[in-house]
Amino acid sequence: MAITGLLVHALKNDVEAVERAIVAMPGMTSYGIHQEQYVVVVAEAPSDRVEKVVEQLDTIEGVLAVYTTYLTVEDEIDEDGNLKTNLSLKELCRQPPQNKIP
């Protein structure tokens, strides 16, 4: 099970409705609204579903962006330190490769 911290950026007029929609989704916990435009969320889902969870959040009316702030999959790591999934952490976080500046 992955535990993911997220900031969901919403239109100020829609932020409360966005928060209600989020807490109605399974595995979602809201820790309130920050600066009248961000919903602070913790999502719990199997690691291979994290991308789908973010996509679901992004489709809520009034959502401008979803930012991943934290991701852990510790309980899916075996005794040898390998992730027990077919996905790599890079795929889970969907981070583009870093360009090195000389």
pLDDT digits (tens, 9 = 90+) for 16-70: 999 999 999 999 999 999 999 999 999 999 888 888 999 999 999 999 999 999 9
How high is the pLDDT of residue 102? 46
**E-state strands within 35-88:** 38-45, 63-72
**CATH no. for 2-93:** 3.30.70.920
How high is the pLDDT of residue 87? 53
Report domain extents, the chain: 2-93
* pLDDT category of residue 13 using cuts at 50, 70 and 90: very high
pTM of the complete model: 0.73
Contact 62, 15 (CB under 8 A): yes
How high is the pLDDT of residue 100? 45
What is the SS3 assignment for 29? Answer: strand
Q: What's the pLDDT tens digit per position in 70-100?
A: 988 765 566 676 656 555 555 555 545 444 4
Q: Taking Cα atoms as reference points, which of 5, 51, 62, 58 lies closest to residue 28?
A: 5
